Every structure is written in structure tokens, then in C-alpha cells.
Amino acid sequence: MLIGFDGEPDHVHLLIDLQPDNNLSNLVSFLKSASSRILRQQFGELRRTGEKQSSGTILNPVAVHP
């Protein structure tokens, strides 16, 4: 569940509540591929160049116990 979000012109911050059995890596992969697809559709000049860029993913797990 998305708890909160914020961002800058070149990146976003997401606060997501996941259960321990959810696969965080699959979620990040899905979000990155979906956002890339949307950006390429909206901005035709963004073409795949075949160059591999860094993942740009930073995960900071936070455990909250009620």
C-alpha cells in the first residue's frame, strides 16, 4: 500500500507498506518498467539507446512495530 510520496524533477520518494512475504524486488522492477513505458509513450524522443544505466534504486527498509 502506498503511504506517501514526494519527488524532485529527476526522482521520486515512495513510502510503501509491504508485508514481509511481498517481493520488494518485483515491485521495484514493475514500477520502473511501467514508468519507463509511460515516459517513452509521452515523449517520443526518449528512445532506447541500448545503453545500460545504473539502477538508481535506493531502498531504506523501515520496520514499524505497533
Q: Per-residue DSSP letters for 52-66? A: PPP------------
Give the residue with greater pLDDT, 31 vs 46.
31
Nearest 5 degrees, angle CA 9-CA 55-CA 23? Answer: 105
Nearest 5 degrees, angle CA 43-CA 44-CA 49? Answer: 110
Note the pTM of the prediction, 2 decimals.
Answer: 0.57
The conformation of residue 22, written as its DSSP 8-state character, comes to: S
Residue 47 CA to residue 6 CA, distance in Å, equals 26
Q: Summarize pLDDT for 18-32 with one digit per residue, the tens.
A: 888 888 888 888 888
Q: How many CB atoms lie within 10 A of CB 28?
A: 15
